[in-house]
Amino acid sequence: MCATKTQDLVATSRQIALLQEHGADIIRIAIDSKRDVEALAEIRKQTSARLVVDLQESYKLAKSVAPYVQKIRYNPGHLYHHEKDTPVQEKVKYIVSVAREYDLALRIGVNFGSLDPAQAGSDEDPIEVALSSAREHVGYLEELGFTNYVVSLKSSDPNDVVEINTRFADLFAEIPLHVGVTEAGMLPMGEIKTRVAFENLLARGIGDTLRVSLTLPHSEKYQEVVIAKKIIEDVYAGRFRSVPRFEHAGLNIISCPSCSRVENEAFVDLAQKVKAMTQEFSEKKLTIAVMGCRVNGPGETDDADLGLWCAPNHVNLKKGSTLLGQFSYEEIVPKLRAEMSKLVQERGL
């Protein structure tokens, strides 16, 4: 996936070329506005790469992006934000009509960080919510007789990714699955989490397309493709490195891979500072989420012990679902450290 600003044509085209050079079969670009669509049209002229666009809230942009891409991803959890009076099923119908007209594939992309609010009760198991959301949308597409689609069910926890994809594959063996651990974070833990999921799923024949999602500087994003290929090769050669489950005994850092939606370019640097600062807590069983924007930031931080999600000029600091405050990019790391120390004391970790 491109992490560059889509409207930065030079940087985005360079990143596409680098991803393609390292073997990416299809490259995702984020589109949120008409200006992003204009940029996409220019990018299309410069590359032969297969492109997929991720619609998020702007489902109506499907029609404008369709001439330039091979696939559209929509997230059931994001079809509620615009035109609240239009039923979700109508929005899906619109996206499907565009996909038919332009002969595009679709991906129903369910993400634990942004689950469908209509499905999610406050205490419900996210696996059940995500499965039910996927089933609902599979139902919509089947009703419309549309078959050119894949489903993805992504969580930042590799054990959840294994469980939900296995359950979905048991229910719908014929529907292709795009697999991935979202917000797997920084290396080396991001690769380990991804391996745990892929080794378990691919060895069972589950997964038709995949993505590795790591927090990396733009110039190194191609490493996602290199690592993905290595894991696939290892699984096919019977070289397994993971244990069947991901039992993180100590600190677990979830961080998003960043994309063009990232609210501030300082995000990757912030994630790395958090990783460095938290070394002293490496033995403590805490989950810290570091997220680049509001798309999955509020949801993913709800489930963490402490979470940061970025706004353009400040960073939101949360303890579970409670907002502790908003701090500048300079203040946030010491604030997080103080809250981690408090939590360690409170819990006697």
258 binds ligand SF4 (CB under 6 A): yes
- Helix 189-203 and helix 158-171: axis angle, to 10°? 20
Nearest residue (CB) to ligand SF4, 55 versus 62: 55
295 binds ligand SF4 (CB under 6 A): yes
Please spell the DSSP secondary structure of 292-315, one letter per residue.
SSTTTHHHHHHTSSEEEEE-SS-E
Task: Judge whether 119 and 81 are in contact, CB under 8 Å.
Answer: no
Stretch binding ligand SF4 (CB under 6 A), from 59-67, 98-106, 124-132, 292-300: 292-300
Nearest residue (CB) to ligand SF4, 96 versus 180: 180
Nearest residue (CB) to ligand SF4, 78 versus 91: 78
323 beta partners:
318
x/- mask, ligand SF4, residues 261-280, rule CB under 6 A, reads xx------------------
x/- mask, ligand SF4, residues 200-239, rule CB under 6 A, reads ----------------------------------------
List the structure tokens of 29.
């670009």
Using CA atoms, how far apart are residues 88 and 316, in angstroms rounded to an integer? Answer: 30
Using CA atoms, how far apart are residues 275 and 185, in angstroms rounded to an integer? Answer: 10
Task: Judge whether 337 and 273 are in contact, CB under 8 Å.
Answer: no
What separation, in Å, do the N-terminal and C-terminal C-alpha atoms of the chain show? 38
List the structure tokens of 41.
């049209």
Nearest residue (CB) to ligand SF4, 292 versus 307: 292
Q: Across the chain, which distance is largest between two alpha carbons, in Å?
A: 60
Nearest residue (CB) to ligand SF4, 169 versus 288: 288
5 binds ligand SF4 (CB under 6 A): no
Of residues 120-159, which lie at the interface with ligand SF4 (CB under 6 A)? none
62 binds ligand SF4 (CB under 6 A): no
Chain residues binding ligand SF4 by CB under 6 A are: 256-259, 261-262, 291-293, 295-297
